[in-house]
Structure 1
Amino acid sequence: MMERLHTNTTRKWLLFGVYMLSSVSLFLAPYMLSDFRLNLLAKFLAFAILAIGLDLIWGYTGILSLGQGVFFGLGGYCMAMYLKLESSGGKLPDFMSWSGLEALPWFWVPFQSFWFTLLMIVLVPMALAGLLGFFTFKNRIRGVYFTILTQALVIIAVTLFVGQQAYTGGTNGITGYRTILGFSMSDPTVKQTLYWITAAVLIGVFFFARWLTKTRFSRVLRAVSEGENRVRFLGYDPTYYKTFVFMLSAGLAGIAGALFVLHVGIISPSMMGIVPSIEMVLWVAIGGRGTLLGAVIGTLLINYAKTGFSEAYPDGWLFFLGGLFVIVVIFLPRGIMGLLQDGYRYVKRKVSQHEKRTYFALGKSDRGV
């Protein structure tokens, strides 16, 4: 009993040290990286926020969604609409003029308010996820059928945003922002501040998700993942739990999309497609499902590998990236975190065996002393 308590305490302190070191490193990054590398890191941190939400629904609840790109895009478009209106100085955005519009569409008007935009970044993706999730989960659509349904959502959303060029910018999307709240987005100080905001949001989201996974609510989610019918027989309605966590993941994806726009300066329907949505699932799978930290590690590792391979081998980087995916999926089915956990258990077992051999090698007199 005491040995188990000591092990748990050591593990908690070890994790605390990892979290603190990671947090400090994130906030010190602007002083160690170039502007280009800092911008890349900021973009990857935004992706990590989405990955945490995806891990909550897939790793903890067993719901595989291939439509997270839609929620990511909705959050990005909400932020882009505000930035475009501010940068145009109250005039009609250029792509609307080219399409023949003479007045600002009614649903664009409220996005002149920054605070309304912040609200919509979260509420719009959550509302769509709540509508889709409630009716599908209520009708007990799950597994591969739900996954296919989310793919259909992606196709519908991309087709809609491409077709409505006068309102969404079409295939080119929305770009050409210059200011946010009156500050120039090209100012290095503004870029640094936006990076710190993104890092702070990621840390806050991570610890919120970690707290959530320690509550009774998380136990129900895991029970739903392992046996939904048993949960229903115990008196819980899985529909509401699954819908809530699906909405939560969509809200996090919307936040990630908005932060992505601030750092990259563009949002288009291509970022909402099936391929980006599948990549998002790979981030979590390679990092390790059901670990949260694995989702963050997988996101950063894969995106940095993608960038590094494309820079070093512009003609063959896709082969390197594909090989990395194959190796991890075949040899590390539990992801990177699974490998680290196995390594930790191996070291702990070896240390325990060494302590036992040392104990039995000592004489009674030595043990008495």
Structure 2
Amino acid sequence: MKARVLAGLAALAGLLWLPWLLPAYRLDFAADTLALGLLAVSVTVLWGRCDLMSFGQSVFFGIGAYCVAVIGTRSGAVGWLPLLLTVIVPAAVAGVIGYFLLYGGVRRALFAIVTLPLTAIAGSVALAWGDLTNGQTGLYLYPPLELGPGLVFDDSVSRYYLTLAVCVAVCTATVLVLRSRHGRALSAIATNEAKAVSLGIPAPLYLTLAFTAAGAVAGIGGGLYALTTQVTSAELVGLLLATEAVAWAAVGGRGNVYRAVAAVLVVRLLQQVVTAVVPQAWPILLGLFFVGVVLLAPRVTEALRQRRAGVAP
């Protein structure tokens, strides 16, 4: 435990020093990675702690981004309101969807299948609602975030530190919740829902709240991503980003919050290398990786479970 704390503090110190080590465009890449890391966190918590693989988290990520972009382009300013909406709107949408699915008994593989069309629906809405989202062109070059006199995040360094601070705060809060009795209740539901219900745990309520919170986390990441890149398009609610988020969660280990963020950096660096050599190869490799995860993850999980229990595989 002590080693983990020291490693975490060392990693945080390194992240704080990045603006002195990287040029502006690399620093923007680091900020983008941290924002996308929150999307990975929302996936890994649902998948690892609730046994719910969701392909719809990119939808909430994109909603958060559009909250910033739409208000910025329409009002000419980005302040506290869009920041609040990046939490409220994705959480509300996730809460409604989660209520109907989870109270309806949708679980595990069926849950993944049902959430898959959400990206197609959200993408169609983003393209069709051109008056609000600017359709295929998307929204770009909107004003920087301004939270008050002297608090204007209009350069790479300030945007990076803002994203880092929010990412650390959200990840820390997520870890604390997962270690609380609510987090233990979610683990009990994922292990044996029928037994958890018999012990008095309202499983649909806990799972719906978890799905709502995961939507809010993804929405915060989307808002930060929009502020950093200054570009918001329908791709942010699409299937490719949703699949990448599942891949990040798989690389980082299901249920591990901080490793999910680190996995985003590893996979994105690999993506840059692959696309520099063969630009069309990345979606194919991502698809093959996902197929491998689906086929091998249950075996690996069972082997680790037996190892922890001291049972010979």
TM-score (norm 1): 0.74
C-alpha contact (below 8 Å) 1:80/1:267 kept by paired residues? yes
Match of 1:141, SS state, is: coil
Match of 1:213, SS state, is: helix
Q: Percent identity?
A: 29
1:275 aligns with 2:234: no
Deviations 1:320-367 (A, max 9, x none): 955993798499849x9xxxx9xxx9xxxxxxxxxxxxxxxxxxxxxx
Match of 2:31, SS state, is: helix
Between stretches 140-149 and 240-249, larger displacement belongs to: 140-149
Query: Equivalences for 1:219-258 in 2 at 5 Å?
Result: 219-258=184-223
Gaps of 5+ in 2: 309-313
User: What amino acid sits opposite 1:135 in the alignment?
Assistant: F
Match of 2:22, SS state, is: coil
Deviation at 1:194, TM superposition (A): 0.8
Choose between structure 1 and 2 for higher RCO, CA contacts under 8 A separated by at least 6 residues: 2
User: What amino acid sits opposite 2:35 in the alignment?
Assistant: A
Specify which of 40, 45, 57 is matched with residue 56 of structure 1: 45
What is residue 167 of structure 2 aligned with on the other side?
202
Deviation at 1:82, TM superposition (A): 2.4
What is residue 80 of structure 2 aligned with on the other side?
115
Query: Equivalences for 1:125-140 in 2 at 5 Å?
Result: 125-140=90-105
TM-score (norm 2): 0.87
How many residues align structurally?
302
Gaps of 5+ in 1: 1-11, 88-111, 346-369
Pick closer, same or farther for the CA change 1:30–1:142 going to 2, 3 Å.
same
Deviations 1:1-46 (A, max 9, x none): xxxxxxxxxxx11101111011111111011011111111110110
C-alpha contact (below 8 Å) 2:78/2:145 kept by paired residues? no
Specify which of 1, 15, 23 is matched with residue 12 of structure 2: 23
> Which of the pair has more CA radius of gyration?
1
Specify which of 282, 291, 304 is matched with residue 318 of structure 1: 282
Moved >3 Å (runs of 4+) = 314-317, 319-334
C-alpha contact (below 8 Å) 1:305/1:321 kept by paired residues? no
Deviations 1:166-190 (A, max 9, x none): 221111111132444399xxx9972
| Distance in 2 between residues matched to 1:319 and 1:207, nearest whole Å | 32
| Distance in 2 between residues matched to 1:189 and 1:131, nearest whole Å | 35
Specify which of 70, 74, 78 is matched with residue 81 of structure 1: 70
Match of 1:52, SS state, is: helix
Deviation at 1:118, TM superposition (A): 1.6
| Distance in 2 between residues matched to 1:249 and 1:216, nearest whole Å | 18
User: What amino acid sits opposite 1:20 in the alignment?
Assistant: L
Pick closer, same or farther for the CA change 1:272–1:309 going to 2, 3 Å.
same
